[in-house]
Amino acid sequence: MINIVIFGPPGAGKGTQAKILADKYHLVHLSTGDILRAEIAARTESGLRAKEIMDRGELVSDQIVIDMLASKLESDARGYIFDGFPRTIAQAEALDELMDTYNTSITLMLSLEVPEIELITRIFIRGKDSGRPDDRNEDVIRNRIVQYNRKTAPLIGYYSGQGKHYSITGTGGIEEINQRLCQAIESGIHA
Ligand code: ADP
């Protein structure tokens, strides 16, 4: 079983690449951003509470996100690609425990590196047709990057400590970036 964490700041291309990798390696793609947006669309209580937080570019509470993610795990999956999760050390610890209960573990963490100026441009362009309110306001976009640097970037140390962190250049064409990710996966699997 291969379990991948695809990692990086907002706008790094996690979702785009996760979809391609999920198809190629037959993984279940779990995006906490997508799960939260589905909860908002369904107007559930936790979705509506999360919406206000997401619209400000802050992080939704660990417990809500961990519970949502746990409910999506399947006993017969061939592996997962986690996209947008974990985003805090507490979430990473919870994920390790969840994987353990399914007798598996995170195989590797692929970290997409993209300069901040390019992130902002990419998110703005996406915001023109994504329909996401958090992609349309520059202050919110900047706050998401601040939150990433403060709360999420420390996960690089967490996964490096476990020998699972791979740094990937996240600029260039989608196909080119995908090839870099596949190379890291092949070397990670056989490490
Ligand atoms: P991006 O990576 O471009 O910011 P996402 O769809 O991954 O897009 O996340 C959108 C928003 O959803 C985040 O800004 C945050 O408010 C919320 N969110 C998504 N995943 C998590 C998570 N694991 N923990 C807390 N909040 C999350």
Tell me the pLDDT band of 76, cut-offs 50, 70 and 90. confident
Confidence (pLDDT) at 75 = 84
Check pocket membership of 13 for ligand 1, CB cut-off 6 A. Answer: no
pLDDT digit string (tens) for 141-167?
Answer: 999 999 999 999 999 999 999 999 999
In the predicted model, is pLDDT for residue 190 greater than 90? no
Q: Whose CA is nearest to atom 16 of ligand 1?
A: 54
Angle 158-53-154 from CA coordinates, rounded to 5°: 15
pLDDT digit string (tens) for 102-143?
Answer: 999 999 999 999 999 999 999 999 999 888 999 999 999 999
Q: Which of 125, 119, 123 is nearest to 170 (CA)?
A: 119
pLDDT digit string (tens) for 22-68?
Answer: 999 999 999 999 999 999 999 999 999 999 999 999 999 999 999 99
| 92 contacts 65 by C-beta, under 8 angstroms | no
Check pocket membership of 10 for ligand 1, CB cut-off 6 A. Answer: yes
Q: Which of 90, 104, 89, 124 is nearest to 28 (CA)?
A: 104
Pairing mode, if any, of strands 2-7 and 28-31? Answer: unpaired
Atom of ligand 1 nearest to the CA of 123: 3
Confidence (pLDDT) at 58 = 98
Separation of first and last alpha carbons in the chain: 14
Confidence (pLDDT) at 130 = 87
CA 20 / ligand 1 centre spacing (Å): 20
Tell me the pLDDT band of 188, cut-offs 50, 70 and 90. confident
Gap between the Cα atoms of 65 and 91, Å rounded = 8
Residues pairing with 108 in the sheet: 4
- For a mutational test of ligand 1's pocket, the pick from 87, 124, 148, 152, i.e. the residue with the most ligand atoms closer than 8 A to its C-beta, is 87
